[in-house]
């Protein structure tokens, strides 16, 4: 007989995040659709270590992580070791990326399928590779909007 599994209502990436970030996540909601709460949490700062947790969830290479955060991995590692928080802009981007991951897993049914989609040119994004759009807050919004279109069957 298989072992009993426990289910949780927390989104997939949140399970990998530190307790401090999970607390922040709970404060502004699962989908991140409350823009005001997101901005307020971003202003408080997200621990720099979260960047590495996001990188692990997205399976990012060092150069991809550096492009998203506009910091070297060495600097991010130093910030993490010193328990520093990211700037408000980088924290906002991090929270949006967490929300995007969870939306992607919800739309595609599993992380692997979402990550495959993220790495291929997307028709609804004028053949841009969605992962490359994560370098700006507006790009994250575009990818999120595309995922929402896919969820509702609008593939144009």
Of the pLDDT bands very low, low, confident and very high (cuts 50, 70, 90), residue 41 is confident
Average pLDDT, the chain: 83
Of the pLDDT bands very low, low, confident and very high (cuts 50, 70, 90), residue 2 is very low
| Separation of CA 2 from chain center | 33
Residue 47 and residue 34: Cα distance in Å, rounded? Answer: 21
Backbone angles phi, psi at 94, to 5 degrees: -60, -45
- Per-residue pLDDT reduced to its tens digit, 147-156: 999 999 876 5
Residue 14 and residue 76: Cα distance in Å, rounded? Answer: 20
Q: b or e along 118-138 (b: 16 or more beta carbons within 10 Å of the residue's beta carbon)? A: beeebebbeebebbbbbeeee
Please give the average per-residue pLDDT across 9-31, as a whole number.
Answer: 51
3-state DSSP helix/strand/coil percent for the chain, to nearest 5? Answer: 65, 5, 30
- Name the residue ranges covered by the structural domains of the chain: 13-151
128: helix, strand or coil = strand
- Per-residue pLDDT reduced to its tens digit, 74-123: 999 999 999 999 999 999 999 999 889 888 988 999 999 999 999 999 99
- Per-residue pLDDT reduced to its tens digit, 47-80: 999 999 899 989 999 999 999 999 999 999 999 9
Residue 121 and residue 68: Cα distance in Å, rounded? Answer: 18
């Amino acid at each position: 007989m298989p072992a009993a599994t426990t289910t949780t209502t927390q989104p997939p990436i949140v399970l990998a995040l530190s307790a401090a970030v999970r607390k922040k996540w709970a404060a502004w909601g699962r989908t991140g659709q409350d823009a005001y709460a997101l901005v307020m949490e971003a202003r408080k700062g997200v621990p720099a270590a979260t960047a590495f947790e996001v990188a692990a969830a997205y399976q990012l290479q060092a150069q991809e992580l550096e492009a998203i955060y506009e910091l070297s991995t060495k600097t991010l590692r130093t910030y993490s070791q010193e328990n520093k928080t990211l700037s408000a802009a980088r924290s906002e981007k991090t929270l949006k990326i967490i929300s995007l991951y969870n939306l992607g897993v919800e739309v595609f049914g599993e992380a692997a399928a979402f990550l495959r989609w993220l790495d291929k040119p997307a028709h609804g994004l004028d053949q841009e590779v969605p992962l490359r759009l994560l370098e700006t807050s507006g790009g994250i919004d575009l990818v999120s909007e595309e995922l929402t279109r896919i969820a509702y069957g609008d593939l144009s």
